[in-house]
Structures are given as C-alpha cells and as structure tokens.
Chains A and B, each alone.
Chain A
C-alpha cells in the first residue's frame, strides 16, 4: 500500500507539466487569420454574385422553382453516387433542418425585433443552407464512381467548348490562311515522314521530320502573299484541326478498343462538326459556321473517347445522364417560370454581356472585345513566359558552374532575378512603354507590347519557381543518367524536365493568374480602357478585362458601378478559374504519369 502511494506521488511530482501556451496561442491566431481572410473574400464574392446575377429581384417562386428542378435532382444524383445511407440522411436533415431553422430564427426576429427584407431571407436560404450543402455533396458525390463519370463528362463538354472558343478567338488575330498553308506544307509532311520512319524502321525518315517541317513552314510564309485563292475558314478548320483531332481520338480508342469503336469515336463527332459547321446555316439549325465546327470537334472528340472508355469499363454508366439531368432541369424550370409568370431576375451577366461590345447604356454593355483581348494576351504571355522561364532556369540550374568566376556571375544573376520579382508592376509598365512601344516601335497598347510587358513582369516568378522545381529533382537521377553516358542535354531533356514538369507548371499557373488581372502596366503602355470591336491583328488597339472593369467602375451611372462591374468581375474570375483548373488538371495528369 505504502509503496503504491509513494510511486504515485513520485511520478506526479517527477514529471509535472510542460507549458504549451505559446504554441496554442500561435496555432489559434494563425487559424483565425486565415479564416478571416477566406471569410472576407467569401463575403465579397457573395455581394458580387448578388449584383451580377441580379438576385435582389429574384422572386421566391422563381428561386423555389429552380431549387426543385435543378438543385434537388443534382443533390439526388450526388447522393446516389456517394451511395452512403448515413450521408443521405444527414444531407436531407441539413437541407430540411437548415431551411426550417432559418425560417424559425428569422420569424422570431421579425416577431420580436424588426422586419427583415425579403432579400435577406432569400440570401440566408441560398448562401447559408443551399450553397454550402451543394458544395459539400458535390465533393462527396464526385468521389463516387457514378459521380466521377458524370462530372468527367460535364467537364469534358464544358472544357472542350471553352478550348474551342479560345481557339476561335485566337484565329481572330492569327491568320487562319497562313496556318492552313503551314499545316499543309510543313506539319503534315513532317508527321508523315516521322510516321514512315517509325513504322517502316527507317530512322533517317524520322530524323528528317523536323527539317522537313521547318522548310514547309518557311515555304508557307513565303507563299502566303503569293497565293490569293483559299478555301473557306470552315474548310480550313475542318482540314487543319477537326480531322487531326478526330484521328488522334480514333488512335487513342484504337489502342485499347476495337476498330469499329475507334472509327465511331473519331468519326461521329467529325461528321457532326462537318454537318453543323458547313451546312448548319443552310439546314436552318440556328447554329453553324466555322466556330461551331471548331467547338463541336474540340469538345466532341474527347467526349466520344471518354464515352467509349466508360462504356468499355461498364461501371457507373448511369452517371452519363448528368448533363441530360441538368439541361432538362433548367428547361423544365424555365417552362414553369414562363407558364406561371413568376417574376425572374434580369442578370447583368448573360449571353449578350459576353458577346457584345461596350455601350453607353448599362443594359447594352458587353465585355466581348476585352475578353478577346485578354485571351489573346494571356495565350501569348503563357507561351513566352513558359519558354523563356524554363529556358533560363534550366540554364541556371543545369548548365552553369557553381564555383569560380562563372559561379560568382551566376549568383549575381540569381540575386538580380530575385530582386526583379519585387519590382512594382508600374515600373514594368514604364519599361514596356520605353522599350517595346517607343524604342522597338511595336505600338502603344498593342497585343505584342502588352504581352511582352506582362511576360517580363511574371518572368522572375516563373524562373524562380521553375528553378525550385528543377532543384528538387534528386541528384541520384542525374548521376544515373550521366553514368549511362548521357550528355547534359539528354539528361535534362529525358530525366530532369519530365520530373520537374508538374512543379514548373504550378509556378507558371500562379504567375499567369497574376498577369491576367494586372492593370497598372497596361495603363502605362497605353492599352485602351474601352475598345468597341474585337481586334483583328496583333497590332490593333487592345483592351483587357481588368482595364474595362476599371473603366466601368468610374462611370457615373450606378448600374455600371454595381451591376456591370460585378458581371465583369464574375466573368474574369470564371475565366481565371477555368484556366487554372485546366492547367491543374494537366499537372495532375503529368504527376500521375510519373
């Protein structure tokens, strides 16, 4: 007995307690700071969304209709996919309970304290109950097989359409006829030569592919002004883009499925694109023309390939109904609203907002020229900064020596690059104005000047992050490759770059996100705040989305400052998120590949 008590007290006295107060304070302060930041951003986005979609004018009947036709079926789909009874019960509980709770609390406040405007009721339902629950259920549902298939299909449809539209926008300024000649004379012979060498075991033909391609492209540049009859744009798209994409899709399917499936996966979207693109107008389909052809081909082929894969796996096929579910839900909702004459909101962001030019009246204002400008600028910045950034970082990491005079110079260069990242963007604007616009005469506010300036601006970030990624490739791998008798270039190309690629892409995505929202350097190089028609050459006067939004924010009419600006911000954010999302998907795919 005595011994027991002794040991008991001894251990209690012997160990005592160690204070963790500072650590705990730090932990909660950091948590608070990050939550505060996210919360502030969320509140801002809620307000912007309300303005852009004119939710203040949404009637309860309108909201309820779409809730029942669109949100409830979608939730049911996700819960079916998650296939978790407990989760379903909880989701239903939260949805029902949340709606009732809001009603009870608000009724109580109204009864005892003060009247609550109808808008607040709706917002509470939407942003406190429905949106968070939908987000969570979507997340859970997407991890199930059925949900994965459904979201995969919707993602391919939307992503393909976006890429198709982006290509169409790029062809506004890049000469489709030159592309036609370069493709026909350069790329096709080069590919043919490569394929011939590959399958007939003739290495010479494969090696010849690159020179053949370069000669072909040069000939095309030379011939462009000489030839003056060209096929129509629709035919050019068909020949240079739709057919190769369909062929690639057929090859992908052919590698794992039957010949018939391969032909169907490539041929069906191609046929559809051809019919709608070339004859859509004649047949009175309402859509048609080269852009429709492009979009159908770019979105259709990956979708067809995906469908084949899903049917082949035979798992979660029912998930393919998701797009139908959403479209039917939206249509039924619209019909009901129409039939009963529910007062509907009139969102600022709609079809005409993104397809029409700016105007003096808020209701007619559009963002189209600025979207086109931004897309073209971002595409050029992405290419320029990626090539320059990767090139520089490979040179600095793999080719320069660490010691001696060269080493000292490298370190000096390194310090300068790090400092460049900290220079304000206005200064880069000044540099662009002096160097590109004035000295090189590339013009004030042209796509070339703006893209070069923005590339310079984000180049330090791209370089530093790419260097980090390259440095994180284990030295073991380099030594392994060197010991095989690989040259520095072979090691870099075959081992270092593939391994560093996801990291490089991450850095580039972040940097591009900064470039797309940049306004100050654009003002400095003389980009227009408002242009009224889409540019049709790289040397036209350009505007970009942030410039246009900035201009609207200064307009006297309140509708501009609230509604139109909000719609612009939402468009900008959607494009940004879409771009980043695509890049992140690419990166994840690259990571899985290794």
Chain B
C-alpha cells in the first residue's frame, strides 16, 4: 500500500511541472482514428477505437502488455502492412486523409511519420550516414551535412559525437544509440514521431535524457509514445490514452485528469498498480 502512495505523490508533482510547460490551448488534430478494428488472423487486437490526437503535443498510450497500444501505433504509419496476417478495418486519418485509402502509398506516408523503436536499432554505418539515411533515400538535394548537424542537435547528441561523425553508430552507448535513432527519425523533418517504448531498454539516466528530449521535440512535432512506465507517461505527456485488455480504449483525456481523477475505476486500479 505504502508503495502505491509514494508513486502516487511522485506522479502528482511531476504532472504539475509537465502541465506548466504546455499551456492548454485549443488544438488542431494531427492524427485521428475512427472505428478502428485490427485483427491478427482471428484474434482481435484493437476493438473499435476512436480518438483524436492533437498536433504538437505529447500523447502517451499506456496499458498492460498485449492491450493493442503498439498495434495502434503501427497502424498510423502502416507498419502493420508488413505482417501478413494483420487486417485493419476503419479509418486512420492523418492530415485529413485516411491512410488506408487505396491511393495512399505506405512508403510515401512513412516519409512523413518518423518512428523510434523499443530497442535502439542504428544501422551499421557511420553516425553521419545513419542520420542522413532518410535524406538519402528521399533524394534530398540540399546541404546534407547541415541537416545532419541540426538533427543531432535536435536529438541532444551533437556535443557528444561532433568529433566522431565518421565512426560507427554501433560504437555509441545504448542511450546515445537511441538518441541517434531519434536524430535519424527527425532528419527528414516528419510531422509526427511515433515512439514504441523508447526507453524500456535503457538505464534510468539515459531514459531521463530521452524524456527531456521528448519534451523539446513536442515544440515542433506531434509525438505519440507507447510506454509501460506510468511515471514516464505522467511526466512527459499532455494527453494520455489508457488501453486495457482486448484492445479497447478505456479512457482518453488530459494526462493530469487521468492520473489524478480518472473516470473509470479500472483505470485507477491500473494506474495505482492494483491491476495489470
């Protein structure tokens, strides 16, 4: 019991600092899901989810394992297309267009939506080539080096690697690798950045650096982050969506509201650790 209390108080203080930084204003919608159902074979992974994700805010998706939050994330940039047995029904709107329309090229879509994975996955290339990768494949013909520098600064990595841009990205530490992946994701200047548990493979110090970074990223990008770490969701996000078993979106509201006064008893149980 005492455990729960302490984590509760921790959350409360952090949420207050978090909400100070992003004053609430009427938001435009970046991504919207309407009646979204996703099936893996016969199994339903997402059950009738509708939600609107605001622009230039951090939106956290939380919930127990297997609740469909990562699946939801991968629907936005159609990474689920890679899975043969996956079937999607309903709409996901991005920039006012359903990304599952027949005339949408998923490759072109992904060039507008960056993604950061759970495990840092830099390419076995130099740091420079890693960051410039998106520019290269998109045929960017401007000043690549300037863009690389800008992106590394944006990912708070520039000062640590500016003298070793030609050494391999794999020589960096885990936390640096993840920031390299973030730099890689923002280099082509996408509109939305999806993050699938970006800190769960990192130590606390590296994780807190990434958290600070996410806060800064929200000034320019819409960030949608899946996390298992409740405190993290409370600290960094403006809006929080709680998924529970069976792929249902149980509650979606301002983060402060979710963590201080959730509507649903189940959400409160989950957040305080009684369930999940």
A and B held together in a complex:
yes
Within 8 A of A (CB), among B135-190: 136-139, 141, 168, 181, 184-185, 188
List, in ascending order, chain A residues with CB within 8 A of B109's CB: 485
- Within the complex, the shortest CB–CB distance from A498 to chain B, in Å, comes to 7
Q: Are A480 and B117 in contact (CB under 8 A)?
A: yes
List, in ascending order, chain A residues with CB within 8 A of B168's CB: 594
Q: Are B84 and A401 in contact (CB under 8 A)?
A: yes
- Within the complex, the shortest CB–CB distance from A333 to chain B, in Å, comes to 48
A287 within 8 A of B: no
Within 8 A of B (CB), among A126-179: none
B110 within 8 A of A: yes
Q: Are A495 and B110 in contact (CB under 8 A)?
A: no
Closest to A403 in B: B84
Cα separation A279 to B125 with both chains bound (whole Å) = 47
Q: Are B107 and A487 in contact (CB under 8 A)?
A: yes
- Within the complex, the shortest CB–CB distance from B147 to chain A, in Å, comes to 14
Q: Are A484 and B121 in contact (CB under 8 A)?
A: no
- Within the complex, the shortest CB–CB distance from B189 to chain A, in Å, comes to 12
Q: Given A486-B107, A487-B107, A594-B168 in contact, is the A480-B137 Cβ separation under 8 Å?
A: no
Contact of B110 among A474, A483, A594 (CB under 8 A): A483
List, in ascending order, chain A residues with CB within 8 A of B137's CB: 481, 484-487, 490, 494
Q: Are A594 and B124 in contact (CB under 8 A)?
A: yes
B270 within 8 A of A: no
B241 within 8 A of A: no
- Within the complex, the shortest CB–CB distance from B105 to chain A, in Å, comes to 10
B102 within 8 A of A: no
A76 within 8 A of B: no
List, in ascending order, chain B residues with CB within 8 A of A481's CB: 123, 133, 137
List, in ascending order, chain B residues with CB within 8 A of A480's CB: 117, 121-123, 181, 184
Q: Are A484 and B141 in contact (CB under 8 A)?
A: no
Contact of B111 among A479, A485, A498 (CB under 8 A): A485
Q: Are A479 and B107 in contact (CB under 8 A)?
A: no
Within 8 A of B (CB), among A467-499: 474, 476-477, 479-487, 490, 494-495, 498-499
B18 within 8 A of A: no
A404 within 8 A of B: yes
List, in ascending order, chain A residues with CB within 8 A of B134's CB: 484-485
- Within the complex, the shortest CB–CB distance from B190 to chain A, in Å, comes to 9
Q: Given A404-B84, A594-B168 in contact, is the A485-B117 Cβ separation under 8 Å?
A: no
Interface size on A, residues (CB 8 A): 24
Q: Are A402 and B84 in contact (CB under 8 A)?
A: yes
- Within the complex, the shortest CB–CB distance from A379 to chain B, in Å, comes to 30
Number of CB contacts from chain A to chain B under 8 A:
75
Interface size on B, residues (CB 8 A): 32
Contact of B184 among A402, A403, A484, A487 (CB under 8 A): A484
B10 within 8 A of A: no
- Within the complex, the shortest CB–CB distance from A581 to chain B, in Å, comes to 25
List, in ascending order, chain A residues with CB within 8 A of B181's CB: 480
List, in ascending order, chain B residues with CB within 8 A of A424's CB: none
A434 within 8 A of B: no
Interface hub of A203, A485, A499 (most chain B Cβ within 10 A): A485
B77 within 8 A of A: yes
Q: Are A482 and B123 in contact (CB under 8 A)?
A: no
Contact of B85 among A403, A474, A486 (CB under 8 A): A403
B119 within 8 A of A: yes
Closest to B129 in A: A494
Q: Are A476 and B121 in contact (CB under 8 A)?
A: yes
Cα separation A477 to B181 with both chains bound (whole Å) = 11
Q: Are A479 and B85 in contact (CB under 8 A)?
A: no
Cα separation A219 to B115 with both chains bound (whole Å) = 48
B23 within 8 A of A: no
- Within the complex, the shortest CB–CB distance from A84 to chain B, in Å, comes to 31
Within 8 A of B (CB), among A569-594: 594
B24 within 8 A of A: no
Q: Are B138 and A485 in contact (CB under 8 A)?
A: yes
Q: Are A485 and B184 in contact (CB under 8 A)?
A: no
Supply 16 further A-B pairs (C-beta < 8 A) apart from A477-B121, A479-B117, A483-B185: A403-B84, A474-B121, A476-B121, A479-B121, A480-B121, A480-B184, A482-B82, A483-B79, A484-B137, A484-B188, A485-B112, A485-B138, A486-B133, A490-B137, A494-B136, A495-B123
A sample of 23 cross-chain residue pairs with beta-carbon separation below 8 angstroms, ordered by A number, consists of A401-B84, A403-B84, A403-B85, A407-B84, A474-B121, A479-B79, A480-B122, A481-B137, A482-B79, A482-B82, A483-B79, A483-B115, A484-B110, A484-B114, A484-B134, A484-B188, A485-B109, A485-B110, A485-B112, A486-B133, A499-B124, A594-B124, A594-B125
Chain B positions near chain A (C-beta within 8 angstroms): 77, 79, 82, 84-85, 107-112, 114-115, 117, 119, 121-125, 133-134, 136-139, 141, 168, 181, 184-185, 188
The 4 closest A-B pairs by CB, nearest first: A485-B111, A485-B110, A483-B115, A476-B121
